[in-house]
Amino acid sequence: MNKNYYAIIMAGGIGSRFWPISRTSHPKQFIDILGTGKTLIQNTYDRFLKVCPKENIYVVTNDIYTDLVKAQLPDMADQQILTEPVMRNTAPCVAYGCFKIESLNPDAAIVVAPSDHLILNETAFIAAIEKSLEAASKNDLLITLGIQPSRPDTGYGYIQYTSNTLHNDFHKVKTFTEKPTLEIAKTFIQSGDFLWNAGIFVWSAKSIVKAFAQHLPDMNEIFAEARPVYNTGSEKSHINKAYLQCTNISIDYGIMEKADNVYVLPSEFGWSDLGTWASIYELAEKDYVGNAVIPSEKVIMYDSSNCMVNVPEEKLVILQGLHDFIVVESNNTLLICPRDQEQNVKKVVADVKQKFGTKYI
């Protein structure tokens, strides 16, 4: 296993679209949302154990989730858990992890990935990551993984690529497009040169540090001046102050859309970002009338079809006459809504917070 390969797992999100199961105090990456026996972050960590030494895996998360990370990933040392005092999107998260690794090993090649994605074909995923790490080690590239789209999905970002290739596998990126309308998504699929943006990145420590210096110079200065304190007792207090100076910006907007050395590796490994209940429904096992019930032991359904049901395993639930609904109960909260209106969940969360405070959030 290559000692210069590193992984950064981003685990700071709240996952509000999975409310009420995903809460601020216990978000979706720490939940076994698919009923597999492991949480999403545990599955992500296990995948990267096959790519790099376990001491080379880092988790960047919010300070309030430190104990959750330690409980679910007990093999991780304290210095591998990087905590953010406030949420500032993905650019500061990436900068913190990559600058820390660069200070330890300037020859590092790094994969950065979310903690809450599903990968069905692990072998293909590991092959794509290793191929990308090897390319990033030898070339000044910022690599992103693109997923071959199977439908005109409006919930994903899209990457347009050119015919210019490196080693016949990595295509030069032409444009990034955030969540398009259905009509535009259809034209993307028809054109044949667009991929879904998986939000998984690979680069060398040298290349990403150089990109921060070029495209986010203020943020670069913040994390570069912390080099003397990385991996010392002063790191946490320094980073806590540094984050307050950081702009709230994603790595996509801050660097990937600006840099001219961005390449994409078209990939197929059974990927889903598990962003909505609809994505869980698509992946879950269903009965003969299309109901997906997790767990299913004490749920009885009459004249009901195509429902997504997730309720406490100790609760007896009887549903009758429901078609195409989401039914979720957790933390003393019950949510029932049509599947085609699940995009309103974020608004519901905001309304609940306004009316009842943070008790149910």
pLDDT band at 210 (very low <50, low <70, confident <90, very high): very high
Alpha carbons 100 and 293: distance in angstroms, whole number: 43
- Residues of the chain with pLDDT > 70: what percent? 100
| Mean predicted confidence (pLDDT) in 216-226 | 96
Q: Is the pLDDT of residue 81 over 80?
A: yes
Tokens 């999905």 correspond to 153
Q: What is the pLDDT of residue 85?
A: 94
**pLDDT band of 343, cuts 50, 70, 90:** confident
Q: Which two tokens stand for residue 155?
A: 């919930």
Distance CA 7, CA 136 (A): 13
Give 263-311 pLDDT, tens digit per residue: 999 999 999 888 888 888 888 889 999 999 987 789 999 999 999 999 9
Q: Residue 151 pLDDT more than 80?
A: yes
Count of CB atoms situated within 10 Å of the CB of 78:
9
Q: Where are the domains of the chain?
A: 5-272, 277-356
Supply the pLDDT for residue 303: 97
**Dmax (CA) of the chain:** 65
Confidence (pTM): 0.93
Residues 6+ apart with CB under 8 A from 40: 28, 29, 30, 31, 32, 33, 115, 116, 117, 118, 274
Which residue, 62, 50, 67, is CA-closest to 7?
50
Range 5-272 classified under CATH 3.90.550.10: yes
The separation between CA 159 and the C-alpha centre of its own chain, rounded to angstroms, equals 17
For 311-332, what is each residue's pLDDT tens digit?
A: 988 999 999 999 999 999 998 9
Stretch 108-136: mean pLDDT: 96
